[in-house]
């Protein structure tokens, strides 16, 4: 699906799951290199930045946790950035781009946009919008971690183990998606300054600043997750130790009682108590007394 937006001499083409005919049309209209046109037809695993005589080609992957409409957690966006045009290609519904198109369309109608005089500025505002969406994903994860924290200290340590592992996997996926951005954006800064001029260097650095802020928030979330997992493991270990301690105490209490019962079962002529009136109750009272004595001893020693 192809959507076209225009404003003040700038053209933005937004492609979602493009067809061969759509890409061929754009290749002829904007002079896109055939190798780039071929890559636009299908997702690419690795991000990249390439400079051509008339445009720049940038591929970035943005992580999505809550606001995703497909099976892929990392949403790819391909940018073909010319001087007066920008082509974005995506293979899933990406909410930030949809919202950006509404703002761009309204500003075009009202003629109040301060986007700038070349497509590099359009790329800057678009990437900033995408990073803000990633921050919204982080807010959702932070709230989820806060809920898990409350459940951990509410005595439900076992129930949250799986969810902590799930969040750890998602944050690892986030990190794998965002980690290459630093190198890609630094290369884009150098190439963008040469392509668009020195007046664009400030915006290129600002894009890198957006990345650093998002990367810092991701590290804070990963640290919080690590602390929660450590705390949860400690509480689980403490509970298990208490259970094992209780089992050991019970076993230790009943061990001498079992020995005493074994002694009375020896077939000897001079067995005490056995055969006297009330021998059953005497033996029972002796075992109960022994058990209570051991219990009091353990309490006094603070073993239980």
100-149 pLDDT, tens per residue? 777 766 655 445 555 667 888 888 888 888 888 888 888 888 888 888 88
Q: What is the mean pLDDT of residues 172-180?
A: 87
Only one residue has tokens 């391909």, namely: 78
Q: What is the pLDDT of residue 110?
A: 43
Query: Is 257 part of any domain?
Result: yes
The CA dihedral of 127, 131, 133, 139, to the nearest 10 degrees, is -170
Query: Is 242 part of any domain?
Result: no
Q: What is the mean pLDDT of residues 219-226?
A: 88
Q: What is the mean pLDDT of residues 230-259?
A: 73
For 266-282, the pLDDT digits (tens) are 666 666 777 677 767 77
Q: What is the pLDDT of residue 267?
A: 62
Assess whether 63 and 199 both reside in one domain: yes
Q: What is the mean pLDDT of residues 212-216?
A: 91
Q: What is the mean pLDDT of residues 257-272?
A: 69
**What residues make up the domain containing 280?**
248-300
Whether residue 81 has pLDDT greater than 70: yes
Contact 61, 47 (CB under 8 A): yes
Q: Cβ of 224: how many Cβ atoms within 10 Å?
A: 18
Spatial separation of the C-alpha atoms in residues 203 and 189, rounded to whole Å: 9
Band (pLDDT 50/70/90 cuts) for residue 290 is confident
Assess whether 262 and 161 both reside in one domain: no
Q: What is the mean pLDDT of residues 193-210?
A: 85
The CATH number of residue 151's host domain is 3.30.460.20
Assess whether 131 and 33 both reside in one domain: yes
Query: Is 283 part of any domain?
Result: yes
Q: What percent of the chain has pLDDT over 70?
A: 85
Q: Which residue has the higher pLDDT, 83 or 238?
A: 83
Domain boundary among 206, 236, 266: 236
Contact 173, 203 (CB under 8 A): no
For 20-60, the pLDDT digits (tens) are 888 888 888 888 888 888 888 888 888 888 888 888 898 98
Q: What is the mean pLDDT of residues 187-213?
A: 86
Domain boundary among 214, 236, 258: 236
Whether residue 68 has pLDDT greater than 60: no
Whether residue 67 has pLDDT greater than 80: no
Whether residue 84 has pLDDT greater than 70: yes
Q: What is the pLDDT of residue 275?
A: 67
Query: Is 241 part of any domain?
Result: no
Maximum average pLDDT range among 21-25, 106-110, 248-252, 288-292: 21-25
Q: What is the pLDDT of residue 229?
A: 82
Pairing relation of β-strands 74-81 and 48-51?
Answer: unpaired
| Average pLDDT of the residues of the chain | 80
Give Dmax (Cα) for the chain: 116
Number of domains in the chain: 2
Band (pLDDT 50/70/90 cuts) for residue 303 is low
Give the sign of the dihedral formed by CA 265, CA 270, CA 273, CA 276: positive
Q: What is the pLDDT of residue 109?
A: 44
Assess whether 215 and 128 both reside in one domain: yes
Maximum average pLDDT range among 114-118, 230-234, 263-267: 230-234
The CA–CA distances, whole Å, from 148 to 74, 232, 251 equal: 24, 10, 36
Spatial separation of the C-alpha atoms in residues 208 and 210, rounded to whole Å: 5
Assess whether 219 and 254 both reside in one domain: no
Query: Is 243 part of any domain?
Result: no
Assess whether 208 and 284 both reside in one domain: no
Structure tokens at 45: 């695993």
Assess whether 145 and 289 both reside in one domain: no
Helix H, strand E, coil C: the string for the chain is CEEEEEECCEEEEEEECCCHHHHHHHHHHHCCCHHHHHHCCCCCCCCEEEECCCCEEEEEEEECCCCCCCCCCEEEEEEEECCCEEEEEECCCCHHHHHHHHHHHHHHHHCCCCCCCCHHHHHHHHHHHHHHHHHHHHHHHHHHHHHHHHHHCCCCHHHHHHHHHHHHHHHHHHHHHHCCHHHHHHHHHHHHHHHHCHHHHHHHHHHHHHHHHHHHHHHHHHHHHHHHHHHHHHHHHHHHHHHHHHHHHHHHHHHHHHHHHHHHCCCCCCCCCCCCCCHHHHHHHHHHHHHHHHHHHHHHCCCC
Query: Is 64 part of any domain?
Result: yes
Band (pLDDT 50/70/90 cuts) for residue 15 is confident
Assess whether 196 and 288 both reside in one domain: no
Assess whether 90 and 144 both reside in one domain: yes
Domain boundary among 187, 213, 236: 236
């Amino acid at each position: 699906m192809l959507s076209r937006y225009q404003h003040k001499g700038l053209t933005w083409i937004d492609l979602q799951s493009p067809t061969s005919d759509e890409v061929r049309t754009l290749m002829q209209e904007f002079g896109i290199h055939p190798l780039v046109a071929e890559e636009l037809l299908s997702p690419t695993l690795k991000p990249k930045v390439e400079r051509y005589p008339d445009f720049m080609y940038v591929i970035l992957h943005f992580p999505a946790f809550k606001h995703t409409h497909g099976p892929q957690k990392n949403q790819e966006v391909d940018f073909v950035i010319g001087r007066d045009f920008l082509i974005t290609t995506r293979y899933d519904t990406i909410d930030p781009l949809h919202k950006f198109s509404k703002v761009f369309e309204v500003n075009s109608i009202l003629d109040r946009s301060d986007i700038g005089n070349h497509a590099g500025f359009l790329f800057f505002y678009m990437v900033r919008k995408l990073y803000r969406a990633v921050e919204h994903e982080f807010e959702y994860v932070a709230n989820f971690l806060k809920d898990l924290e409350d459940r951990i200290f509410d005595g439900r340590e076992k129930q949250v183990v799986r969810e902590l592992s799930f969040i750890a996997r998602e944050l690892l996926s986030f990190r794998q998606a965002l980690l290459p951005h630093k190198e890609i954006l630094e290369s884009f800064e150098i190439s963008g300054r040469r392509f668009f001029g020195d007046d664009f260097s400030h915006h290129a650095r600002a894009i890198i600043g957006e990345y650093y802020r998002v990367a810092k928030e991701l590290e804070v979330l990963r640290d919080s997750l690590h602390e929660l997992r450590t705390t949860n493991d400690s509480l689980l270990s403490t509970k298990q130790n208490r259970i094992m301690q209780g089992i050991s105490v019970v076993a230790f209490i009943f061990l001498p009682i079992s020995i005493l019962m074994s002694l009375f079962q020896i077939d000897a002529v001079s067995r005490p108590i056995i055969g006297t009136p009330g021998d059953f109750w005497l033996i029972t009272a002796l075992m109960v007394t022994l058990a209570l004595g051991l219990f009091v001893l353990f309490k006094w020693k603070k073993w239980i």
